[in-house]
Structure formats: structure tokens, C-alpha cells
Amino acid sequence: IRWTEGRGWHDAELVPYGPLSLDPANMTLHYAQEIFEGLKAYRRPDGRVATFRPETNALRFQVSARRLAMPELPAKTFIEACDALVRQDQAWVPPHGGEASLYLRPFMIATEVGLGVKPSNEYLFLVIASPAGAYFPSGVKPVSVWLSENYVRAVPGGMGFAKTGGNYAASLLAQAEAAAEGCDQVVWLDALEHRWVEEMGGMNLYFVYGDKIVTPELSGSLLAGITRDSLLKMAKDLGYSSEERRISTEEWRRDTENGTLTEVFACGTAAVITPVGVVRSASGEWTHSDGRTGEVTGKLREALLDIQTGRAEDIHGWMHHVS
């Protein structure tokens, strides 16, 4: 679907997957005026297909668009575009059972040609899809994380809350540093004090204190994950309480060592929920799990996947039926 200044959204079309042809002076290529989303379609036990909370992705896409000075796509159009692609690609939605899905990637790029730094006067919104297998085909395995003190992902007043490519470009070097330190993922800290936990590379974090789950509050520099929000809403269903607040790295270490912090996990569309095992930083390391998934982490993971795959009743009205 195209957007042009003065004309708005127009020319929606469903075309076979293939390369885009872009002018070398296309503004996106130079100034990164680009936003995206990620969501999944699951096959239900009766063979129908449903996406998980697409209206929430549509609203977050509007939030990202505003921050990047791009036009807002109506939520209805966002959802209709995803539905049209899922219907076209029905055959690619994996069978019911397990965690496999069809991953959808809606995104928007600037298409004006020119090297002046200003918002583009035309845009292209696209959705592509790809089948996605289970994130952990041989069983859920805790990730090891590196607390990044040399780099920050987002600053106050920046774009941390938007889902835009630049945030991920800023994370690549830190991710390489984490790998060099023997860790799977980076944990981002706040930009000012390097002390407050924000999020992981592509996931939000949760801290389990007995039967309470705690997640860093939305500071403006971390992404408002849809999985994060779903878990806040689901906690009560499973008899847990929940809290959004600031959590420091000192607290993380101290509460692990004194045994009050019983589990830590990360959550996001791709892996759903991943336990955190080893936590490493320049000033030392500590460990959460001896290779197992904690009880609360496991229960939340199952409960969420049960809703997404249609094994459990959709009590929150989160599933959007496409076919």
C-alpha cells in the first residue's frame, strides 16, 4: 500500500514475493526512516488460522510512525493487509501442534528520492511472511546474558520505544561484544546511570519473586512488548501478582544471591518465553537456573502458547480469526 502527500493511502495490492527496485537516492537507504512489526499466525485445532493481538501491533506501528515522522496507517488497514497475506499463504501456516507458526513482518519505508534530511513525501507499507519453526526445537534452554555497560541502545528523548531499524543497528556491536564474552544475548541498561535494567536485544525481561512477576516499567527507552503486556494481564489467571517498576543490576544480583529472586525470563513474539541462566557483566557473574526452566516461567510459557495455538480458551479475546 502506498502513501503520497495530499493523496493519503492508495494502491493496495497483493503481489508475488520478489525484490523491490529502489533508487540509490531513496531516503530510507540514507536516513533510516523505517519502522516494522512482528506477529504470528497459528493453526488452530479445527484447522482455522488466527493471529495473536494484531490490533496491538497496529497501534504500536502508529506509535512508531509518529516518532519517525511518518504517516499513521489506520489499524483496520494494517489488520486487513495481514489477513489478506495470511489467507493467500494459508498453505504455509504449519499444522496445529507444537509451536510452529507463520511469522508476519509488516513494515514501512520512505520512498522519496533525494538527499535532503527531511520527512519523505511518500511511503510504502508492505507485509511479508515466513513459516517459523519452534524457537527451541530440542527443548527450552536458558539463555546467557551480558550486561552491556559500554553501549546503550536508547537514550531519553530518543526512539527506544519505537520499532525502527536504527535501534537494531545500534545493538549489533553490543551483541558481538556479548558473543565475545560467551553470552547469547545483550541486556540493555539505562543510558544515564548504566544501572537500571531495560530489556534484552529483542525481548522484554521479567523477574520472578515467588508468586510475583516484576518487569521494568516503560521508561520511554524500551519497547512496549506485546508479550510483556499479555503476561501482565495473564498473571492473575494463574494466581500470580504483577508489578511494573525500576529494577537495578545491584538488586538483580543481591536478590539472586539472597534467594528472593527465584527466576528470570525474557519474553517476545519470536521465542515466546525464554529462561535466563547465566548473567555476566564486567564486574562478575551469577546464575539463575542449572539448565532448567523455572516453575513460574514454565507455567506462563505453556499458558500463553495454549491460548496462541488454540489449546486453551481465549479468555482475553486476543485471537483474531483470519480463516
54 lines the binding site for ligand PMP (CB under 6 A): no
Question: For residue 83, which amino acid is it?
Answer: D
Q: Which residue is nearest to ligand PMP (CB)?
A: 225
Contact, 156 vs 221, CB < 8 A?
Answer: yes
Number of residues in contact with ligand PMP under rule CB under 6 A: 12
CB of 104 to ligand PMP, least distance (A): 12
203 lines the binding site for ligand PMP (CB under 6 A): yes
DSSP letters for 8-40: EEE-------------TTBHHHHH--EEE--EE
Q: What is the dihedral of CA 135, 136, 138, 143, to 10 degrees?
A: 150
114 lines the binding site for ligand PMP (CB under 6 A): no
> Closer to ligand PMP at the Cβ: 27 or 35?
35
- Spell out the residues 6+ positions from residue 6 whose beta carbon is closer than 8 angstroms to its own: none
Residue 110 CA to residue 59 CA, distance in Å, equals: 19
Which SS3 state, helix, strand or coil, does residue 150 take? coil
> Closer to ligand PMP at the Cβ: 54 or 268?
268
Q: What track of x and - describes contact with ligand PMP for positions 213 through 242 (by CB under 6 A)?
A: ----------x-xxxx--------------
List 62, 204, 249, 293, residue binding ligand PMP (CB under 6 A): 204
List 30, 31, 38, 314, residue binding ligand PMP (CB under 6 A): 38
Residue 230 CA to residue 251 CA, distance in Å, equals: 25
> Closer to ligand PMP at the Cβ: 268 or 275?
268
64 lines the binding site for ligand PMP (CB under 6 A): no
Residue 101 CA to residue 260 CA, distance in Å, equals: 36
Residues that bind ligand PMP (CB under 6 A): 38, 199, 202-204, 223, 225-228, 268-269
